[in-house]
Chains A and B, each alone.
Chain A
Amino acid sequence: MKRIFYLDGQPVPFTSGQNVLEAAIAAGMARQIPYFCYHPALGSLGACRQCAVKIYPHDDKHPPRVTMACLLPASDHLQLATVDQEVHTEHRKIIELLMLNHPLDCPVCDEGGQCHLQDMTVQTGHAVRRYSGPKRTYRDQDLGPLVHQEMNRCITCYRCVRFYQDTAQGDDFGVFGSRDRVYFGRLEDGPLESPFSGNLVEVCPTGVFTDKVFRHDYARVWDLQQGPSVCPHCAVGCNTLPGARLGTLRRVRARHHPEINPHFLCDRGRYGFRYVTAAERPVRARLHGVHSRQDAVLRQVATRLQEGRSGFLGSPREDVQSNLALFALADCLHAPFAALSSPWMEALAQQCMALPQAPTLNDVEMADHLIVLGDLGGVAPMAELAARQALRHGARLTVLASRPTALAEAGDYRPTRPSALPDLVTGLAEDACLQGSRRPVILAAAETLGPAGVHALRKTLARLPANARAGVFQNSPNLFGAAYFAADGHTVRLQHALRQREIDHLLCLAADPLGSDWGAGIWRSLAPGLQGVTVLDMVDTDTVRAAETVLPMAAFPERDGLFINYEGRIQAFAPVYRREAQVPSWQENTRGFPAAAGGQMHPLGPPTPQYWLGRLAELLDIVKPWQERLTFYQRFLCPIAPRPDHPGILLDDALRARFEIAAAPAAAPVGTEDWELDLFRWHGGEALADAAAELQSLAPSRGLRLNADVDASFATLSGPCGRLRLPVLPIVGMVAGVAALDQEGFAQLGLHPGEAVQIQWETVS
């Protein structure tokens, strides 16, 4: 039966557990009840006293009374009123009190136009400050490069603290002081430590916390071009809303997706977009390191391809269609193609693909028993946020990792060597506690677990009750899309062809085989056999710097495409804006009329990879077969592509089942006396986000993270592909015999997580 209560005589439907305000907002009646401290993700507090309604009791004994809508549980046939003199007076007086000390900042406040306080003040009709006494002021804090504080504007709704301490479980931000001096900030100036600090900007109903990155290149929200996009910085695939103006990207906000990110976004997703505006980003075609005309560069690439000695390398960093376009071109030319840069990565992608359906982040929040393998927060911060919500609901959390990560501190930390993970995962099937849980969820960092570990996880899940789910996270947005092409041995075949001198030219799509991609050590050792490398990319990488020809590429908000996230959810993103090489200046504007009028158009930004590959197909005279193959594979792999604002379509189970035959890859044995490596990632680290200057100014220093007992200041690591000397950074509580290294280091050494390494120690006094 449909449950309803009445607000001003209008029926409002509700579900059990909802409060009156929540139900009224859901029914589109928010205009009748102004509110501040209520937030759908943070719940009710009753601190602002703004959402008053009048309740008429059913009996004749009690008179009608004014109460807070956010604290009133909705119940059947409740009679409520807002069109009432008392309620109106309450609304008006409370907003007058809240505005008592609010400064006259709106013209210079970044919140203007998207300000909840502005909306509610206008809605309530408060216009004139009657009190003529002086306004209270505060000194502000420097909260780092991402969030700007302006405390004078505060209305003490406590949303920031409730988000930061309760939802994100950060401990370096809080509330201080008493009476009318309540202060929200850090104990001392300094950058906010939580990976979710950017959400303060979104939860704050006024301009106390504003986006510092947006501030430097500000545009009012009504001037922004916005469109549905998907975050390209990890496998979670949060929905985002990039905003651009005058051909430049200005900011990224969270876009509501009920199952992945209903409200929030991590700092990597929010501030990582600055790779688009980075000064080093290749935006013009290059030949031998010199800017050249597109046609000349394309002709050079076509000449290389015509020789028939080319290999093609795709990337999990790129969307499905670009990889497909490259694959179709390679297919037409009968050239070797691989979508992943290392056989290890290929095996990992296949194993991930073969896993049963992963839980959505919503399911993770509902879990009652969580097991986390590796540093989840460094790979996919939003998955960590979901895990923390489960913790708040009383879930048990066990973290198996080599070092005490932020999440491990919140749960039961079991120090574990990465090489021991596959066996431990197998042992989980016998775990009585896991067997007895109602909604157990296992979350893992894919690379720490490795192919053998993910394989063990699949076997374990088969033995656990059907309600047990597992999600494996990686920090490229489209590992599943690339795994389509990860049929056995593609990468090995490509490397073999290069070793046998069958090919001497490599066309890379957003791959960095000579830099920090997995397996880069092997590619670097094969590099002398390469006559030339062609790269299509949107960030400056080692491969871009070393390449013979560079074709710049449109960034994700500048084009459309499809990503497949960690659950196998196909999500589409739409072009948000057209990049212009620069904001047109006075002279350009006056002379910038179309060619027909005797002028030049503004130069547009880099084209899409499909455009480049199509042009190459044109030059090679294979447009028709290329297009035919492209359409064929597209129909086969994603017969129905979702619209950009669609919540996504899950991959076909039958397609994923094909990967189940993949045999268990053997992990190299590691002795208990050996030093082994684990992957270190910080929450802002990812190939694209690495080019975002503001975010990277917070990056931890590079080094080898070890147990604090080791007495050395430098370590020289030797792997099959090279040596690396790094400073030693002691970590208290880390497992003895494990050293944590960043992906770049792994690439240089040619090793993978969970493998043994030789270390020479050096002590500098």
Chain B
Amino acid sequence: MSAYRGLVQLGLGLWTTLRQIGRGASTVSYPEEALKLPPRWRGRPVLTRDPDGDERCVACQLCSAVCPTRCIELQAGEREDERRYPVSFRINFSRCIYCGFCEEACPTLAIQLLDAFAFSTEHHRDLIYEKEALLIDGTGKHPHYNFYRHAGVALHGKDKGQGSNESPPVNGRSNLP
């Protein structure tokens, strides 16, 4: 009885194996073949631009504060039109663990973990990416968001009260009820 059951099990296992023969390989012969990445894949962080083409990062330093490996370093500056921007932005990818905390912390949706992942080099020093290498020309995953449309600060070309959901500036000298 037990011998019969063993043969049936063996036959079933063999059938499972034989069934795969016609189905082709489930592995990908990377790097010759491109990988199909899931949409929420966390690859190398990049700095994106807003829909108007200006860089999104306002150098608030939250990404560097939240980074568990302290691999982000930046210096804030102010442009002539009073926009804040990072004068320098540096990520040391030999320390980055692709946890995505920076993306979560970013209030302007500037830093995003996109799909790039294969960028190995021979030297650690080649893994220190500067702003020029991080800033891309697109909006990344969020095509419509522009932080400065919602912020209360005035810029050149955007006066007080012109932000979204803002009323025009009040007269702070008026004593009328």
- The contact string, 1 if C-beta is below 8 Å from chain B, for chain A 136-177, is 111110000000001111000000000000000000000011
Residues from 140 to 177 in B contacting A, C-beta threshold 8 Å: 147, 150-154, 160-161, 163, 165-177
* Nearest neighbor of B65 in chain A, beta-carbon distance: A222
Contact B75 A178 (CB under 8 A): no
Interface residues of B in 104-139 (CB under 8 A from A): 107-108, 125, 128, 130
B167 neighbours in A (Cβ, 8 Å): 134-137
Tell me whether A138 and B128 are in contact (CB under 8 A).
no
B76 within 8 A of A: yes
Residue in contact with B169 in the complex, picked from A105, A132, A138, CB distance below 8 Å: A138
Q: Which residues of B contact A183 (CB under 8 A)?
A: 172-173
CA A220 to CA B147, docked complex, whole Å: 20
Any A CB within 8 A of the CB of B48 = no
Q: How far, in whole Å, are A560 and B131 apart by their CA atoms in the complex?
A: 37
Chain A residue contacts of B78, Cβ below 8 A: 215-216
Question: Are A583's CB and B75's CB within 8 A?
Answer: yes
Asked whether A107 lies within 8 Å of B62 as measured between CB atoms, the reply is: yes
Which residues of A112-138 are within 8 A (CB) of B?
112, 132-138
A223 in the interface, Cβ–Cβ < 8 Å?
yes
Query: How does the 8 Å CB contact mask read for A100-117 relative to B, with 1 for contact and 0 for none?
Result: 000111111000100000
| Beta-carbon contact of B170 and A181 below 8 Å | yes
Chain A min CB distance to B129 (Å): 10
B91 within 8 A of A: no
Query: Residues 38-80 of chain B: 1 if any A CB is under 8 Å from the residue's CB, otherwise 0?
Result: 0000000000000000000011111011000000000111100
Asked if residues A137 and B171 are in contact (CB atoms below 8 Å), the reply is no
> Nearest chain B CB to A211's CB is how many angstroms away?
13
Nearest CB in chain A: distance from B110 CB, A? 9
CA distance A42 to B113 in the complex (A): 48
Q: Which of A215, A220, A590 contacts B61 (CB 8 A)?
A: A220
Please tell me if the beta carbons of B173 and A137 are within 8 angstroms of each other in the complex.
Answer: no
**Residue among B107, B152, B160 with the most chain A CB within 10 A?**
B152
Interchain CB contact under 8 A, A107 and B64: no
Within 8 Å of chain B (Cβ to Cβ): is A717?
A: no
Quick check: is A272 within 8 A (CB to CB) of the other chain? Answer: no
* Interchain CB contact under 8 A, A138 and B160: yes
Q: Does A611 contact B (CB under 8 A)?
A: no
Out of B61, B107, B108, B152, name the residue touching A153 (CB < 8 Å): B152
Q: How far is the CA of A748 from the CA of B91 in the complex (A)?
A: 55
Q: Are A177 and B171 in touch, CB under 8 angstroms?
A: yes
The answer for the CA separation of A306 and B166 in the assembled complex, in Å, is: 75
* A219-B152 in contact given A137-B170, A586-B130 (Cβ < 8 Å): no
Which residues of chain B have C-beta atoms less than 8 A from A180's C-beta? 170
Q: Does A185 contact B (CB under 8 A)?
A: yes
Q: List chain A residues, Cβ under 8 A from B130.
A: 586
Contact of B64 with A223 in the complex, beta carbons under 8 Å: yes
Cα–Cα, bound, A157→B103 (Å): 35
A152 contacts B160, CB within 8 Å?
A: yes
In whole angstroms, how far apart are the Cα atoms of A373 and B130 in the complex? 59
| Chain B residues whose C-beta falls within 8 Å of the C-beta of A61 in the assembled complex | none
Q: Determine the residue in chain B with the shortest Cβ distance to A106.
A: B107
What residues on B are CB-neighbors of A107 within 8 Å? 58, 60, 62, 84, 107-108, 147, 151
Give the contacting residue for A108; candidates B151, B169, B173, B175; CB below 8 A: B151
A132 to B165, CA, bound (A): 8
Would you call A138 and B58 a contact (CB within 8 A)?
no
Closest Cβ–Cβ distance, residue A307 to chain B (whole Å)? 49
Residues of A within 8 A of B154 (CB): 140
Which A residue's beta carbon lies closest to that of B133?
A586
A739 to B152, CA, bound (A): 50
| A248 closest partner in B (C-beta) | B75
Taking the nearest CB of chain B, how far is it from the CB of A280, in angstroms?
Answer: 23
The CA of A181 and the CA of B88, in the complex, are separated in Å by 39
Given contacts A103-B153, A137-B152, A178-B177, contact A246 B75 (CB under 8 A): yes
Q: Report yes or no: B174 in contact with A135, Cβ–Cβ below 8 A.
A: no
A218 within 8 Å of B (CB atoms): yes
B90 neighbours in A (Cβ, 8 Å):
586, 589
CA distance A176 to B152 in the complex (A): 21
Contacts of B163 in A (CB 8 A): 103, 135, 137
Q: Which of A134, A589, A590 contacts B166 (CB 8 A)?
A: A134
A179 proximal to B (CB < 8 A): yes
Contact of B172 among A135, A182, A216 (CB under 8 A): A182
* Chain A residues near B176 (CB-CB < 8 A): 178
| Minimum C-beta distance from B74 to chain A (A) | 10
Contact A152-B152, Cβ < 8 Å, known A220-B65, A222-B65, A583-B75: yes
Question: How far, in Å, is A373 (CB) from chain B's closest CB?
Answer: 42
- In this complex, the member of A108, A222, A583 whose beta carbon has the largest number of chain B beta carbons within 10 angstroms is A108
Q: Say whether B58 contacts A139, CB under 8 Å.
A: no
For the complex formed, measure the closest distance between the CB of B88 and the CB atoms of chain A, giving whole angstroms: 8
Given the interface pairs A137-B168, A177-B175, the reply to whether A108 lies near B128 with Cβ below 8 Å is no
Q: CA separation between A179 and B173, bound complex, in Å?
A: 11
* Distance in Å: Cβ of A401 to nearest Cβ of chain B: 37
Mark interface residues in B77-94 (1 if CB within 8 Å of A CB, else 0): 110000010001010000
A145 to B117, CA, bound (A): 46
Chain A, residues 212-245, CB within 8 Å of chain B (1/0): the string is 0001101110110000000000000000000000
CB of A626 to closest CB in B, whole Å:
42
Name A185's closest neighbour in chain B (CB-CB).
Answer: B172
Contact partner of A112 among B60, B147, B166, B174, CB < 8 A? Answer: B60
Contact of B151 among A104, A246, A590 (CB under 8 A): A104
Q: List the A side residues contacting B161 at CB < 8 Å.
A: 137
Contacts A134-B167, A586-B130 hold; do A219 and B76 have CB atoms under 8 A apart? yes
**A112 CA to B161 CA in the complex, in Å?**
22
Chain A residue contacts of B108, Cβ below 8 A: 107
A378→B157 CA distance, assembly (Å): 42
Contact B174 A108 (CB under 8 A): no
Q: Which residues of A lie under 8 Å from residue B170 when comparing CB positions?
A: 136-138, 177, 180-181
Contact of A178 among B59, B76, B175 (CB under 8 A): B175
Measured in the bound complex, the distance between the Cα atoms of B173 and A586 in whole Å is 50
Contact of B58 among A103, A108, A220 (CB under 8 A): A108
Q: How far is the CA of A178 from the CA of B175 in the complex (A)?
A: 5
- Assuming the contacts A134-B165, A181-B171, asked whether A108 and B153 have C-beta atoms less than 8 A apart, the reply is yes
Q: Would A181 and B168 be within 8 Å (CB), given that A107-B147, A220-B65, A586-B130 are in contact? A: no
> Within 8 Å CB of B64, what residues of A?
223
Evaluate whether A177 and B172 lie within 8 angstroms (CB atoms) in the complex, with A108-B151, A583-B75 already known.
yes
**Contact, CB under 8 Å: A104 / B152:** yes
Most central of A152, A178, A180, A246 by chain B CB within 10 Å: A152
Contact at B151–A105, with CB atoms within 8 Å? yes
**Alpha-carbon gap, A181 to B174, bound state (A):** 8
State whether A179 touches B61 (Cβ < 8 A).
no
Q: Across the two chains, which residue of chain A brings its CB closest to B129?
A: A586
Q: Which residue on B lies nearest to A587, using beta carbons? A: B130
The smallest C-beta distance from A140 to any residue of chain B, in angstroms, reads: 7
Q: Are A135 and B60 touching (Cβ within 8 A)?
A: no
Closest 7 interchain pairs by CB?
A103-B152, A183-B172, A107-B60, A134-B167, A152-B152, A137-B161, A220-B61
A: residues with CB less than 8 A from B are: 103-108, 112, 132-140, 150-153, 176-183, 185, 215-216, 218-220, 222-223, 246, 583, 585-586, 589-590
Enumerate chain B interface residues (CB-CB to A < 8 A).
58-62, 64-65, 75-78, 84, 88, 90, 107-108, 125, 128, 130, 147, 150-154, 160-161, 163, 165-177
Given A106-B107, A139-B172, 15 more A-B residue pairs with CB atoms under 8 Å apart are A105-B152, A107-B151, A108-B58, A108-B151, A132-B165, A137-B163, A137-B166, A137-B168, A176-B172, A177-B170, A179-B177, A180-B170, A185-B172, A219-B75, A589-B128
28 contacts between A and B (CB under 8 A): A103-B153, A105-B151, A105-B153, A107-B58, A107-B107, A108-B58, A132-B165, A134-B165, A135-B152, A135-B165, A135-B166, A136-B170, A137-B167, A137-B170, A140-B160, A176-B172, A176-B173, A177-B172, A178-B174, A178-B175, A182-B172, A218-B76, A219-B75, A220-B60, A222-B65, A246-B75, A586-B90, A590-B125
